[in-house]
Amino acid sequence: MSSVPGGSGENILYTVLCGGAFVAALSYGYMTVTSDQARFSERIDQIRARPKADWTPKPWPPKGKDEDEDGEAEAVEEEAAAAEAETIVEEAAEVVAEAAEAVSEVAEAVAEVAQEVEAAAEEVSEVAEAVEEAALAVAEPAAVGAEETQSDVPFAGGKNPSTT
């Protein structure tokens, strides 16, 4: 019995390849760590060698770059912004004027329709009154006729309840 994985040496090639890859990975890792350590040390030395000014806090509030030039640039920017705002306001005023005109046209149309509706409502109320009068006129003769037919109806006992 063999102590090599795979039994009788069938997979010896795989064992050698895996072992070689493992050794290569370990050697690469070791070389990278040692070379990076040297490079790291060199960079730290370079940073420490640079001249360094003492830290001082910045003044508050912070001032802009070249205050004199910025003042002129800001004035030009403000004038441009004001001109742009003026054009926007003019466009908005035109839109509002057009909307107001459209609203006034619609209001006139609504007023005309309201007058037509009022006239139709008056006609409907007149027709309703006429129908009501006609219904009352039809209801009164029917009530009179109903009283006459009640007096002529004989009952089973032969007596008329309206005569008793």
Per-residue pLDDT at 116 exceeds 80? yes
Residue 127 confidence (pLDDT): 92
The long-range contacts involving 84-93, CB below 8 angstroms and separated by at least 24 positions, are none
Say whether 159 sits in a helix, a strand or coil.
coil
**23-44 per-position pLDDT tens digit:** 999 999 998 887 777 788 888 9
Task: Give the residue from 114, 137, 117 showing the smallest Cα distance to 125.
Answer: 117
Confidence of residue 1 (pLDDT cuts 50, 70, 90): very low
CA distance 79 to 76: 5
Helix (H, G, I), strand (E, B) or coil at 37: helix
In this prediction the pTM is: 0.33
pLDDT at 20: 96
**What integer is the mean pLDDT of 59-74?**
67
Cβ neighbours of residue 64 under 8 Å, at least 6 residues apart?
Answer: 70
* pLDDT at residue 14 greater than cutoff 70: yes
Cα distance between residue 133 and residue 88, in whole Å? 66
Query: Residue 10: in which H helix or E strand, if any?
Result: none
> Encoding tokens for residue 36?
């990076």
Q: What is the pLDDT of residue 36?
A: 76
C-alpha to C-alpha distance for 122 and 41, rounded to whole angstroms: 104
Contact 15, 6 (CB under 8 A): yes
pLDDT in tens, 85-104: 899 999 999 999 999 999 99
